[in-house]
Amino acid sequence: MIAVLQRVSEARVVIADQMVGQIAQGLLVLLCAERGDAEVQADKLLAKILKLRIFSDAAGKMNRSVQDLDGQGATGGLLIVSQFTLAADASGGNRPSFTGAAPPDVGRRLYDYFVAQARAVHPKVETGQFAADMQVHLINDGPVTIPLRAL
């Protein structure tokens, strides 16, 4: 699985002029299941995301995770958005190939699994909608953007 994390001060997903998910401070997680992925990759990736220390402490150092924000009185939200284009391969020309992405039924199953696991262990989880035409609005805090891959 591939994820691109963006540390945000706020983010939201809109579909057909309707807001479907919104967080304040936290992480926007763009998520892609690749061919061959299973629940084990989702579990590893989620564990890494929840513990990744990319939020500033009182001294301004990146020492806090999204989980640590709740102890500070803030809402450390996760906004999880499916994005199969993270598996794009443009090495063969100017039109990307997406054959590295999991088939849609597998991608949906792993996305739903990832979201369910996140909701089981984190208090604030919002989502986009799998396979929808979404507009993602965010204010990247820092900016901090980190790509991750679970093998």
Q: Is 83 a catalytic residue?
A: yes
Are 47 and 67 contacting, i.e. CB atoms less than 8 angstroms apart?
Answer: no
Catalytic member of 6, 83, 114, 127: 83
Q: Tokens 């204010």, residue?
A: 139
Catalytic member of 72, 85, 129, 145: 85
Q: Tokens 């699994």, residue?
A: 113
Are 13 and 83 contacting, i.e. CB atoms less than 8 angstroms apart?
Answer: no
DSSP state of 34: B
Q: How far apart are CA 77 and CA 124, in angstroms?
A: 5
**103 preceded by a cis bond (ω within 30 of 0):** no
Q: Is 84 a catalytic residue?
A: yes
Q: Is 85 a catalytic residue?
A: yes
Q: How far apart are CA 140 and CA 39, in angstroms?
A: 29
Catalytic member of 6, 25, 41, 84: 84
Of residues 125, 120, 112, 110, the one with CA closest to residue 78: 125
- Looking at the annotation, which residues are catalytic? 83-85
